[in-house]
Amino acid sequence: MRFREKLGKEMLLFDGAMGTQLQAKGLKAGELPEIWNLTHKETVRDIHRAYVHAGCDILKANTFGANALKFEGTPYTVSEIVQAAVENAQTAAAESAREVYVALDLGPTGKLLKPYGELEFSKAYELYKEEIVAARENVDLILIETMGDLYEIKAAVLAAKENTDLPVVVTMIFDEQGKLLTGADIETALFTLEGLGVDMIGFNCGLGPVQMLPFVQKIGAISSTPIAVNPNAGLPECIDGVTSYNVSPAEFAEALSEIAGCDGVWAVGGCCGTTPAHLEAAARACKGIAPKAIKEKNFTAVTSYGKTVYMGERPILIGERINPTGKKRLKAALVEGDEGYIFSEAVAQADGGAHVLDVNVGLPEIDEPAVLERTVQGLQGITDLPLQIDTSDPVAMERALRIYNGKPLINSVNGKQESMDAVFPLVKKYGGVVVCLTLDEHGIPDSAEGRIQIAEKIIKTAESYGISKKNLIIDTLAMTVSTGADNAKITLEALRYIRRTLGVHTVLGVSNISFGLPKRDSINAAFFTLAMENGLSAGIINPKSDVMMNAYYAFCALKGLDENFEQYIGHVTDSAAPANPGMGTDLKTAVIKGLKAEAGEQAKTLLKDVLPLDIINTYLIPALDTVGQGFEKGTIFLPQLLMSADAAKAAFDEIKQVIAQSGAPANDEKKNKIVIATVKGDIHDIGKNIVKVLLENYGFDVIDLGKDVPPEVILETAKRENVRLVGLSALMTTTVANMEITIDLFRREYPDCKIMVGGAVLTQDYANRIGADFYSKDAMGSVRYAEKLFSK
Amino acid sequence: MEFSEKEALRYLGFRGKPADADTLALLKEVGAAASACVQPKSIYKEVSLRRVTDEDTEIGGIVFKSCKLQAHLKDSDRILVFAATLGANADMLIRRFSADNTAKAAVAQAVLAAMIERYCDEICDKIAAEEEKNGYFLRPRFSPGYADLDLSAQRDLFALLEITKRIGITLTDTCLMLPTKSVTAFIGLSKTKSCKTESCKTCTDTECAYRKEGI
């Protein structure tokens, strides 16, 4: 019987530890256990045999760390190691009269993926793919285990699903607080992996069976997928320099049997410290326990890398601001690749109370698939809110879904066959909750019944793709009331029926209702309240609008969806606080005092009468000079300098907004360009980021190449952009060597370019030795040097 | 999570001078945000210690090259290897602040650096209290990259403790740690008490941001 058919028929038993067993047989610290598949074949086979003898049903091949990164510099290839490992396990399995399955065992790559670390998602995918391709003909399932990063799991799952039809089991390592290393909680990991369609989900390693039990109960209550649990033999203890696990076989088996009795658990086994004796006891205690049938749960949930947002009685807010339609400043930012502006919009909406952020970068003049992918990747590095991937281009949608870390909202599919054929396969493959627009080949029906019919068609078609209605939210389309007096009524009627009668969640782009009318916020807020009363699950709104947020919090308070009015009171207290604490001061004072909101407001007011350039020269530059000089004299310190820089930036943003709206080219005069980068091998970028903000304040056009930048990339950019100054940052002694290599390259290939350097370990002396033109001992130093250089 | 404000201010360049009210308010705000997101984890174990030559010390069966490490351990006859981290979300917090508030990003950097130091000190104090019962005292932490102990020693230290698997710290190709707010160290155990903090006065790196005046 194949593994999938066996699932749920009887309690299956995974084997126990391989690593700690090999250590007991002489594997040394630092030695790669997978090499023993070739050098100590019989030892490995004997361990497998012992587990078969103990009664285990599934053997984990000794391939946990068999990826190309770990085998770099060894004489072995990944495929020979993997094949030997699988053969060892298969040999032991074949000797048994019982049916014993062999799993390809995939552990973490050992590197952190971007944005937490340096490994590209696509590279992680390739590493796993190589192992899977080597093993796929000879294994019964793929076990992805001891995983602490949801993003890395996604890479492994995609590699498994795209290169085999084998069952995929994922078990993760949670800490005692119930969090993965990269911060995901249990529900977030579960919903993301259910979206990806894995066969079993669960826990291994990190904890013993006793500590794991509450987590198993928790996941069992929300999971629609069978659960596998492989705990350690207790928590590790260190005795005489040896890490050991001290739960006895009898205790282990007893605790494990309690886990096997939990809802949803269909397989158990062991991890670090467990021995054939533990598994033999476990077999006796657990194999007689019948797996319970699993009920399909009905949660409509989306997740980021770390947290889950549920659709329920309390409506959720989707921030609409990252969408270039009608927003010239955002358009300019997208065209120029100014991610900073997009990120600040994200943070502002999160601070404003958004639960999910819509991301739409659709502009005819950009490469939408590439920009959407990059923007989603960037955003998930700075916010823990789930994203709504908003595009009408299926290519862009797939690229964004592929690299999304979690289970996203997807915007959108509609009732046209073509749209459903393009979008539903992506939803099925990558997971997600999809926004369904009630329009089709015949357009948007002008009756509630017409829109309901389309909704029903979409729900039915989704089902035929294996997408349950819990993963749909229907948009009954807010059409501007200025073109039809019944428009709001039709939308709301359809909405109510779909939510209350069909039992499917709903969404609206709320502000569409008021196009063409004055004082749109008033109409929007009233319509928003009506929609929520009629069953709106999610509103796509502007969380920076006080009127909308007032309507939202008041609605929740009135409907008993806000315990003790906590959120309402929190909201009104925040908005009652004076928006401009320093009102009455001028822009210059606001910047000197580091008042960000105030500086922005003051700039906005000034822009009504004063030319942008005059504002810069009369207010901003003098203010920055005052602060800069204070910093150089040692009367003010870094935090104040940066608060002023941020305030000045807020003022500059207002100025840019006006320039963008006037349609004038962004730069009247050609600004002086500077390339900055943290050198190759170095991952510290706070110093470089500070320098960037200050240089930009002083009017320089900064091209920021980020961190860990190869010398060739810096050179190429500097040449292409024809810059005269490059700033390099390095924090560690070891990476200053790469700074020197970069400087050498410039001296040979582009000698006219000046190079300034900075970073914690650098000194004037050191900078001289590596041949830099200027050593900047602090953040202002680079500004002064750039001013001097470009004034010549 | 606790941290020393004084330490954080030193990283921000105050060097003992009093901080203004705005900076102190920022420290409080960022400190609260940091406490809410860190996932502190640590691991240590005792391993074997053997001097091979003046430069070579065999620790847990692996030879580490460093005269200064050997000198540092001269009174020690036992040794611990140690690792601690605040987790990936600490870096996330800095990135999030960097998106729209450079001042907060810089303060977060300093606060988290002070937090990981304090966290390491707390773990070490606990170990010290236990070891004192056995008549042993802890030497200060000595990390790869200090003095003449090459940063590449990280690779062996990581293998000794299975650091990546156990607490999730990873190494870049250049041996830097990710998450960045992480510490690894050797900790000698000796029967004689030594000063807990190494003297800054004797150090030749006069520009060091961590330098304390007068000690």
Residue A668's pLDDT is what?
Answer: 47
Contacts of A443 (CB under 8 A, 6+ apart): none
Cβ of A578: how many Cβ atoms within 10 Å?
9
Cβ–Cβ under 8 Å, residues A455 and A493: no
Subunit contact B102:A115, Cβ cutoff 8 A: no
What helix, strand, coil percent values describe chain B, rounded to 5? 40, 20, 40
User: Among all residues of chain A, which has the CA nearest to that of B151?
Assistant: A734
Residue A467's pLDDT is what?
Answer: 98
Looking at the DSSP assignment, which residues form a beta bridge with residue A142? A104, A168
Within 119-148 of B, beta carbons closer than 8 Å to A belong to 145
| Burial label, A453 (beta-carbon count in 10 A; 0-12, 13-18, 19+) | middle
Cβ of B89: how many Cβ atoms within 10 Å?
24
User: Looking at the domain assignment, is residue A577 inside a domain?
Assistant: no
CA–CA separation, A34 and A40 (whole Å) = 10
- Are residues A562 and A448 both part of a single domain? yes
A256-270 b/e (C-beta count within 10 Å ≥ 16 → b): bbbbbebbbbbbbbb
Contacts of A709 (CB under 8 A, 6+ apart): A677, A678, A679, A680
Q: Is residue A656 over pLDDT 90?
A: no
Q: Is residue B212 over pLDDT 80?
A: no
User: Among all residues of chain B, which has the CA nearest to that of A737?
Assistant: B174
User: Looking at the domain assignment, is residue A294 inside a domain?
Assistant: no
- Are residues A69 and A147 both part of a single domain? yes
> What's the whole-number average pLDDT of chain A?
93
Per-residue confidence band for A581, with pLDDT thresholds at 50, 70 and 90 = very low
In this predicted model, which residue has the larger pLDDT, A321 or B145? A321
- Are residues A130 and A14 both part of a single domain? yes
Subunit contact A683:B176, Cβ cutoff 8 A: yes
Contacts of A215 (CB under 8 A, 6+ apart): A174, A178, A186, A203, A207
Residue A628: which H helix or E strand, with range? Answer: helix A621-633
Q: What CATH number should be reported for the domain holding residue A785?
A: 3.40.50.280
A180-192 b/e (C-beta count within 10 Å ≥ 16 → b): bbbbbbbbbbbbb
Within 176-205 of B, beta carbons closer than 8 Å to A belong to 176, 178-180
How far is the alpha carbon of B52 from chain A, nearest alpha carbon, in Å?
19
User: Among all residues of chain B, which has the CA nearest to that of A639?
Assistant: B103
Subunit contact B60:A639, Cβ cutoff 8 A: no
- Are residues A281 and A311 both part of a single domain? no
Encode A65-125 in three state secondary structure. Answer: CCCHHHHCCCCCCHHHHHHHHHHHHHHHHHCCCCCCEEEEEECCCCCCECCCCCECHHHHH
CA–CA separation, A530 and A488 (whole Å) = 9
Residue B202's pLDDT is what?
Answer: 63
Residue A276's pLDDT is what?
Answer: 97
- Are residues A526 and A452 both part of a single domain? yes
Residues from chain B that touch A693, judged by Cβ atoms under 8 A, are 102
Residues from chain A that touch B107, judged by Cβ atoms under 8 A, are 639
Subunit contact A594:B168, Cβ cutoff 8 A: no
Residue A660's pLDDT is what?
Answer: 78
User: Among all residues of chain B, which has the CA nearest to that of A183?
Assistant: B89
How far is the alpha carbon of B168 from chain A, nearest alpha carbon, in Å?
6
What is the arithmetic mean of pLDDT over B41-49?
93
Residues from chain B that touch A118, judged by Cβ atoms under 8 A, are 172-173, 178
Subunit contact B179:A116, Cβ cutoff 8 A: yes
Per-residue confidence band for B196, with pLDDT thresholds at 50, 70 and 90 = very low
> Tokens 């979206």 — which residue?
A195
Distance, CA of A179 to chain centre: 15
- Are residues A172 and A208 both part of a single domain? yes
Tell how strand A356-359 and strand A387-390 pair up: parallel
Cβ–Cβ under 8 Å, residues B49 and B76: yes
CA–CA separation, A707 and A694 (whole Å) = 18
Identify the three-state secondary structure at position A517.
coil
User: Looking at the domain assignment, is residue A323 inside a domain?
Assistant: yes
How far is the alpha carbon of B71 from chain A, nearest alpha carbon, in Å?
22
Tell how strand A265-268 and strand A242-245 pair up: unpaired
Residues from chain B that touch A596, judged by Cβ atoms under 8 A, are 101
Subunit contact B12:A637, Cβ cutoff 8 A: yes
Residue A734's pLDDT is what?
Answer: 82
Triad B204, B208, B213: Cα angle to 5° = 80
The span from the first CA to the last CA of chain A, in angstroms, equals 81
Subunit contact A638:B12, Cβ cutoff 8 A: yes
pLDDT tens digits, residue range A475-525?
999 999 999 999 999 999 999 999 999 999 999 999 999 999 999 999 999
Which residue from B95, B103, B160 is facing A639, i.e. has the nearest CB?
B103
Q: Is residue A578 over pLDDT 70?
A: no
Mutate which of B134, B146, B161, B164 to disrupt the A interface (most A C-beta within 10 Å)? B164
User: Looking at the domain assignment, is residue A333 inside a domain?
Assistant: yes
Identify the three-state secondary structure at position A306.
coil
Locate the DSSP E strands across A320-471. Answer: 356-359, 387-390, 409-414, 433-437
Subunit contact A638:B180, Cβ cutoff 8 A: no
Would an 8 Å CB–CB cutoff place B95 in contact with chain A? yes
Q: Taking Cα atoms as reference points, which of A591, A555, A597 lies closest to residue A574?
A: A597
Residue A582's pLDDT is what?
Answer: 44
Asked which of A572, A606, A627 is the last residue of a domain, the reply is A572
Asked which of A662, A683, A706 is the last residue of a domain, the reply is A662
Cβ–Cβ under 8 Å, residues A406 and A377: no
How far is the alpha carbon of A414 from chain B, nearest alpha carbon, in Å?
35
Within 4-43 of B, beta carbons closer than 8 Å to A belong to 12-14, 17, 19-20, 22-23, 26, 37, 39, 41
Residue A285's pLDDT is what?
Answer: 97
Residue A727: which H helix or E strand, with range? Answer: strand A725-729
Which residue from A116, A243, A306 is facing B45, i.e. has the nearest CB?
A243
User: Looking at the domain assignment, is residue A27 inside a domain?
Assistant: yes
- Are residues A600 and A533 both part of a single domain? no
pLDDT tens digits, residue range A627-639?
999 999 888 899 9
CA–CA separation, A639 and B12 (whole Å) = 7
Q: What is the dihedral of CA A645, A647, A648, A652, to 10 degrees?
A: 130
CATH code of the domain made up of B5-190: 3.40.109.40
Per-residue confidence band for B147, with pLDDT thresholds at 50, 70 and 90 = confident
Q: What is the DSSP letter of B99?
A: H
User: Looking at the domain assignment, is residue A566 inside a domain?
Assistant: yes
How far is the alpha carbon of A26 from chain B, nearest alpha carbon, in Å?
13
Per-residue confidence band for A259, with pLDDT thresholds at 50, 70 and 90 = very high
Q: Taking Cα atoms as reference points, which of A723, A764, A740 lies closest to residue A681?
A: A740
Q: Is residue A37 over pLDDT 80?
A: yes
pLDDT tens digits, residue range A389-420?
999 999 999 999 999 999 999 999 999 999 99
Subunit contact B99:A382, Cβ cutoff 8 A: yes
- Phi, psi (degrees; rounded to nearest 5) at A359: -125, 110
Q: Residue A440 sits in which domain range?
A: 301-572
Asked which of A527, A543, A572 is the last residue of a domain, the reply is A572
Q: How many domains does chain A have?
A: 4
How far is the alpha carbon of B72 from chain A, nearest alpha carbon, in Å?
21
How far is the alpha carbon of B106 from chain A, nearest alpha carbon, in Å?
7
Subunit contact A108:B165, Cβ cutoff 8 A: yes
Q: Taking Cα atoms as reference points, which of A404, A356, A349 lies closest to residue A378?
A: A404
Question: Which two three-digit tokens encode residue A639?
Answer: 């935090």
A355-375 b/e (C-beta count within 10 Å ≥ 16 → b): bbbbbbbbeeebebbebbbbb
Subunit contact B100:A240, Cβ cutoff 8 A: no
- Are residues A786 and A724 both part of a single domain? yes
Residues from chain A that touch B19, judged by Cβ atoms under 8 A, are 637, 639
Residue B44: which H helix or E strand, with range? Answer: strand B41-47
Would an 8 Å CB–CB cutoff place B100 in contact with chain A? yes
Would an 8 Å CB–CB cutoff place B67 in contact with chain A? no
Cβ of A170: how many Cβ atoms within 10 Å?
29
Residues from chain A that touch B20, judged by Cβ atoms under 8 A, are 636-637, 640
Of the listed ranges A376-385, A576-585, B161-170, the least confidently predicted one is A576-585
- Phi, psi (degrees; rounded to nearest 5) at A87: -65, -40
Residues from chain A that touch B62, judged by Cβ atoms under 8 A, are 29-30
What is the arithmetic mean of pLDDT over A203-209?
95
CA–CA separation, A510 and B39 (whole Å) = 39
Contacts of A696 (CB under 8 A, 6+ apart): A649, A652, A702
Which residue from B19, B62, B98 is facing A30, i.e. has the nearest CB?
B62
Cβ–Cβ under 8 Å, residues B92 and A116: yes
Q: Is residue B199 over pLDDT 80?
A: no
User: Looking at the domain assignment, is residue A400 inside a domain?
Assistant: yes
Residue A711's pLDDT is what?
Answer: 96
Tell how strand A301-303 and strand A308-310 pair up: antiparallel
Long-range (24+ apart) CB contacts under 8 A made by A774-780 are A776/A691, A776/A727, A778/A631, A778/B13, A779/A631, A779/A638, A779/A641, A779/A687, A779/A690, A779/A691, A779/A694, A780/A628, A780/A631, A780/A632, A780/A641, A780/A694
**CA distances (Å), origin A48, targets A51, A80, A188:** 5, 19, 34
Identify the three-state secondary structure at position A226.
coil
User: Looking at the domain assignment, is residue A582 inside a domain?
Assistant: no
- Are residues A265 and A330 both part of a single domain? no
- Please state the domain extents for chain B: 5-190
Entry pTM = 0.91
Residues from chain A that touch B159, judged by Cβ atoms under 8 A, are 29-30
Residues from chain B that touch A177, judged by Cβ atoms under 8 A, are 39
Q: What CATH number should be reported for the domain holding residue A92?
A: 3.20.20.330
Contacts of A302 (CB under 8 A, 6+ apart): A191, A308, A309, A356, A386, A406, A407, A408, A409, A432, A433
